[in-house]
């Protein structure tokens, strides 16, 4: 296969995923986000590896983008409620401290347990759906009565069992670097950012409709 053909393979796979995207599942996730915002709850998000870095993008978007004017020249009035968003991956000091003290499997659960409750939304991102640190934190969220959303691929793993709403990225891949145990991983990671943008845009639309007419 030539380089051009391999690049074309990636793009063809991407098109199929977009065509098969589970819109109804994301619609349910948006409903949970809206309810959390309306009730003054907090969104907590977690992921591993490069996906933890993507959550910094999520944090910036969710915290600011829905709450500026359409031309981005000024924020909405201060009486417009903002969304509380916590990236559980944001502090290297906290995470390494928790890993050192209680172990990697429990680091997100330990960070989440003292603060999460009903009215909050916990968002979990795991390609396998079985990352122990993610599934243990999801269990904490469920027991606390929080809303739970997970994004996975393949069969969804434990995340699919635990989360109230689970978005499973469809398809499989033959592209180098995302076969075998990493099947569809690049597409999963690409789609994380798309899911973020769709949710942020939908929240922005909702906020604008309420406060800008």
Q: In what order do the strands lie in the sheet with 147-153?
A: 84-87, 42-46, 121-125, 147-153, 165-169
- Tens of pLDDT, residues 87-114: 999 999 999 999 999 999 999 999 999 9
- CA 8 from chain centre, in angstroms, equals 28
- Which residue bears the tokens 């591993």? 48
Q: What is the pTM of this model?
A: 0.95
Span 15-32, pLDDT tens digits: 999 999 999 999 999 999
By DSSP bridging, strand 121-125 and strand 165-169 are unpaired
At residue 33, does pLDDT exceed 70?
A: yes
Q: Which two tokens stand for residue 181?
A: 């145990």
Q: What is the pLDDT of residues 165-199, one digit of tens each?
A: 999 999 899 999 999 888 999 999 999 999 999 99
Look up residue 75 and give its DSSP letter.
Answer: B
Contacts of 161 (CB under 8 A, 6+ apart): none
- Residues 157 and 166: their CA atoms lie apart, in Å, by 10
Tokens 């993008």 belong to 57
Question: Is the pLDDT confidence value at 38 over 80?
Answer: yes
Q: What is the pLDDT of residue 213?
A: 60
In CATH, the number for domain 3-68+80-211 is 3.40.50.10490
Element (H, E) at 129: none
Share of the chain above pLDDT 90, in %: 89
Q: Are 132 and 48 in contact (CB under 8 A)?
A: no
- pLDDT, residue 132, reads 97
For helices 185-211 and 50-64, angle between their N-to-C axes, nearest 10 degrees: 10
Q: How many CB atoms lie within 10 A of CB 96?
A: 12
For residue 56, give both structure tokens.
């910094």
Query: Cα separation of 52 and 119, whole Å?
Result: 24
């Amino acid at each position: 296969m030539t380089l051009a053909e391999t690049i074309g393979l990636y793009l063809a796979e991407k098109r199929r995923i977009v065509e098969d995207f589970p819109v109804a599942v994301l619609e349910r996730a948006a409903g949970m986000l809206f309810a959390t915002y309306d009730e003054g709850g907090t969104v907590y998000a977690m992921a591993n590896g490069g996906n933890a870095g993507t959550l910094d993008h999520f944090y910036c978007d969710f915290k600011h983008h829905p709450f500026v004017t359409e031309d981005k020249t000024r924020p909405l009035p201060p009486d417009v409620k903002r969304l509380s968003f916590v990236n559980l991956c944001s502090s290297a000091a906290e995470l390494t401290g928790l890993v050192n003290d209680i172990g990697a499997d429990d680091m997100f659960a330990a960070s989440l347990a003292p603060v999460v409750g009903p009215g909050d939304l916990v968002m979990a991102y795991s390609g396998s759906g079985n990352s122990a640190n993610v599934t243990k934190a999801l269990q904490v969220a469920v027991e606390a009565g929080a809303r739970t959303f997970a994004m996975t691929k393949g069969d969804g793993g434990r995340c699919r069992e635990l989360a109230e709403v689970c978005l499973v990225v469809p398809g499989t891949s033959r592209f180098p670097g995302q076969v075998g145990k990493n099947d569809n991983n690049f597409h999963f990671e690409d789609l994380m950012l798309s899911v973020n943008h769709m949710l942020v845009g939908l929240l922005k639309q909702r906020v604008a409709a309420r406060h800008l007419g």
